[in-house]
Each structure stands twice: as structure tokens, then as C-alpha cells.
Amino acid sequence: MTQLIDIFASIGLWSAVLRIATPLILGTLGALLCERSGVLNLGIEGIMTFGAMIGWLSVYHGADLWTGLLIAAIAGGLFGVLHSFLTVTLGLSQHVSGLGVTLFASSFSYYVFRMVVPVANTPPTIVPFQPLDIPVLSSLPFFGPAFFTQTAPTYLAIIIALLLAYIIFRTPMGLAIRMTGENPHAAEAQGVNPMVIRYGAVIAGSALMGAGGAFLTLAAFDSFFPTMMQGRGWICIALVVFASWRPGRALFGALLFAFFEAFQLRMQTMLGGAVPYQLFLMTPYILSIVALALMARRARVPQALMQPYRRGER
């Protein structure tokens, strides 16, 4: 019991929560934005992988960290163009198209990475984002190191979550996106072009996914290796449902999820060999499934999600 208290009282736990949450926040927001416009983007796993790879590779080749993050976002956006072309222009199955994008983006990442970085025993590293020293806040006892010694992209992710909540619920653009996701025919009848909105949302959403992936290689770790994504993208898709398509709740969901993750990591060390570590590693996936089962019926799904829109065809 005291050990549990120790875990909760440890600075490491809380600072890890924010660090673990950041890629999930960005990925979930990206997926959420796509889905609000009516497009399920299962390309997320691959797009995040590509973002992680290309962001790292850019920095490895001399770009500064922010440029690396930007390049990852742009690359994500390009995959968004591909996914939009398949699902919006051609109106193909969003499930299969998304999986195709994931398979392509991840294998392409590995290919490019291997082409540039030959196999080595210890993967090459870069100097990642360092924790920001925020005046006053960072020097608070406990709270300072626990919450205010994160890297800059973490704060950026939180700001983006709030910004996206504002855009979706308080601006004409957000309303147009929501209407497109609910009823693209109505959007069209009111002079909003659903094709353009969907392209825009999917591209912007995919850019967020790319940036989320890059956080892993540019801030959380300092190197790239294949299979590092470990289903984070799929977890983001589950988090969108858990969040009921609301950015604020997505932020909360990602933090909650990261808390469990950070907690299980510490339980793992605490319990040592008594419980197989694999059981702990399973928890994120099982938690995601449980979250889906709990929320799927309750959540207010965008009514046109996964429905292709073609003018004149109802």
C-alpha cells in the first residue's frame, strides 16, 4: 500500500503522464478532426510511423527540431491527400483505404529509414527536445517538476486541443465541418462544399497525426526503430470514440490513458517478476477495447461517418 502511495507521490509518474500523453493527444485530435468531417482515417498508425521516421531523419540530417516536427506534419498532410483521394474523391471503403495507407506509410517509412541508415547494433540518435524551464511554475515544489518541466511540443499539443475545441464548436469553419460529418447533402445545399471540407479536415488531421508520431522520436525518445508505434494509432482511434468526438474529452481521455500507462510501468517495476510484464503491456490495448465497449452505444457518432459523398447520389 505504501508502495502505491509512493507511486502516486512520485514526480516521475506525473511528468511521465504528460510525456506519454502527447503523441496520443495529437493523434486522437487528428483522427477526431477527420471523423468530424465524416472520414474514418485508419491510415493513422502508418502516418504516425512515417512522421516519427521523417521527423527524426530530418533532424539527423541537420534540420533543427522544430523543422523536423514541421516536416513530419507536412508529410502527414500528404498522406492525408492520399487518403482523401481514395475516400473522398473516389468514395472507396474508408476501412480498406485507411488500412492500405497504414500498410504503405509504415513499410515506406522502414524502407526510407533502412535506405539512409544501415543496420547497426545501436541505432543512431539525435539530441531531442529538452524540458522547458518555465519561470516560477517550473520551480514550484512537486508541481513544478511534475507538470511544468515538459518539452515544448507537449504544451503545444495541449494548446492545439483547446484550439481545436474552439474551432469545432465556436467558428463557422467548425460548424461546416460538423455539418459535413452529419449530413454532407445539407452542407452542400447551404453552399458548403463537402468535398473541400473533407479534404481539408483529413489533411489537417493527418498532419496532426504526423506531428504526434514525430514527438516520439524528437522528444520522448531520440531514435527511430521499426515497429515503435506499437498500435498507438489504433488506440487513438479508440480514444476518439471514448471522447465522443469532443476535443476537450479527447485531451482528458489521452491523459487518463497515459496515466494508466505510466502507472502500469511503475507497477511493473514494483511487482518485479511476480507478475509477467506482458500482462502490464496488454493493459493499454485491453483498456482501449473496454473504453470502446462502454462508449460505442452512448457516443453521438457523426451520422455521415464512413459514408462517401457523391453529388446528386443520395
Partner 1 sequence: MRFERREHRPLSLLILTPLIAVVSALAISGILIALAGAPVLEAYWRILAGAFGSRLAVSETLTRATPLILTGLAAAVAFRARLWNIGAEGQLYLGALAVAAAGSMLLGGLPGIVQIPLLLVTGAVAGMLFMLIPLWLRLRFSVDEVVTSLLLNFVAVLIVSMLIDGVLKDPMAFGWPQSYPVADDALLPKLIARSRLHIGFGIAIVLSIVIYFIQSRTVFGMQSRAAGLNPPGAVFAGVPLGRTLLKVACLSGGLAGLAGAIEVLGVKGYVTTDLSPGFGYAGIVVAMLANLNPIVVVLTALFTATMFVGADGMSRSMGIPTYIADVTVALSLLTMLVGLFHSQYRIRR
Partner 2 sequence: MTLPVLQIEGVSKRFGNNLANDDISLTLAKGEIIALLGENGAGKTTLMSILFGHYTPDAGRIVVDGTELPPGKPRAAIRAGVGMVHQHFSLAPNLTVLENVMTGTESLWAVKSQTGAARRKLLSISERFGLRIDPDKRLGDLSVGEQQRVEILKSLYNDARILILDEPTAVLTNIEAERLFTVLKDMARQGLSLIFISHKLDEVMAAADRIVVLRRGKTVAERRASDSSKAELAELMVGRQVERPVREPSTPGALALAARDITVWVNGVARLKSISFALREGEILGIVGVSGNGQAVLGQMLFGTCARTSGTLELFGKPVADLTVPDVVDAGIGRIPEDRNHEGAIGEMAIWENAVLERISSPAFSKNGLVNRNAGMAFARRIIEEFDVRGGTPQTRARLLSGGNLQKLILGRNLLQNPRILIAAQPTRGLDEGAVAAVHARLLAARKEGAAVLLISEDLDEVIRLADRIQAIVGGLLSPPVEAADADARKLGLMMAGEWREVEDAV
Smallest gap from residue 225 Cβ to partner 2 (A): 41
Side chain identity at 44, as an amino acid letter?
I
| Among 57-65, 104-112, 146-154, 169-177, the segment contacting partner 2 (CB under 8 A) | 169-177
Query: Would you count residue 37 as binding partner 2 (CB under 8 A)?
Result: no
Query: CA–CA separation, 183 vs 37, rounded Å?
Result: 9
Q: Which is nearer to partner 2, 188 or 261 (CB)?
A: 188
**Polymer length of the chain:** 314
Question: Which among 230, 187, 219 is positioned nearest to 72, based on CA atoms?
Answer: 219
| Among 112-120, 188-196, 224-232, 248-256, the segment contacting partner 2 (CB under 8 A) | 188-196
Query: Would you count residue 163 as binding partner 2 (CB under 8 A)?
Result: no
Query: Would you count residue 296 as binding partner 2 (CB under 8 A)?
Result: no
Q: Which is nearer to partner 2, 197 or 291 (CB)?
A: 197
Query: Would you count residue 300 as binding partner 2 (CB under 8 A)?
Result: yes
Smallest gap from residue 251 Cβ to partner 1 (A): 20
Q: Which is nearer to partner 2, 227 or 300 (CB)?
A: 300
Query: Would you count residue 179 as binding partner 2 (CB under 8 A)?
Result: yes
Side chain identity at 183, as an amino acid letter?
N
Query: Would you count residue 189 as binding partner 2 (CB under 8 A)?
Result: yes
CA atoms within 13 A on the CB side of 260: 16
Q: Which is nearer to partner 2, 114 or 311 (CB)?
A: 311
Side chain identity at 75, as an amino acid letter?
A
Burial class of 201 by CB neighbour count within 10 A (0 to 12, 13 to 18, 19+): buried
Residues 18 and 147 sit within 8 Å (Cβ to Cβ): yes
Smallest gap from residue 180 Cβ to partner 2 (A): 9
178 binds, among partner 2, partner 1, none (CB under 5 to 8 A by kind): partner 2
Q: Residue 34, by phi and psi: left (phi above 0), alpha (psi -120 to 50) or beta?
A: alpha
- The pattern of x and - marking residues 111 through 150 that bind partner 2 according to CB under 8 A reads ----------------------------------------
Q: Which is nearer to partner 1, 14 or 249 (CB)?
A: 249
104 binds, among partner 2, partner 1, none (CB under 5 to 8 A by kind): partner 1
> Which residue in 171, 226, 286, 294 binds partner 2 (CB under 8 A)?
171
- Where on the chain is the footprint of partner 1 (CB under 8 A)? 42, 82, 86, 90-93, 95-97, 99-101, 103-104, 106-108, 110-111, 114-115, 230-231, 234-235, 237-238, 241, 276, 278-279, 281-282, 285-286, 288-289, 292-294, 296-297, 310-312
162 binds, among partner 1, partner 2, none (CB under 5 to 8 A by kind): none
Binding-site ranges for partner 2 (CB under 8 A) = 170-176, 178-179, 182-183, 185-192, 300, 302-303, 311-312, 314
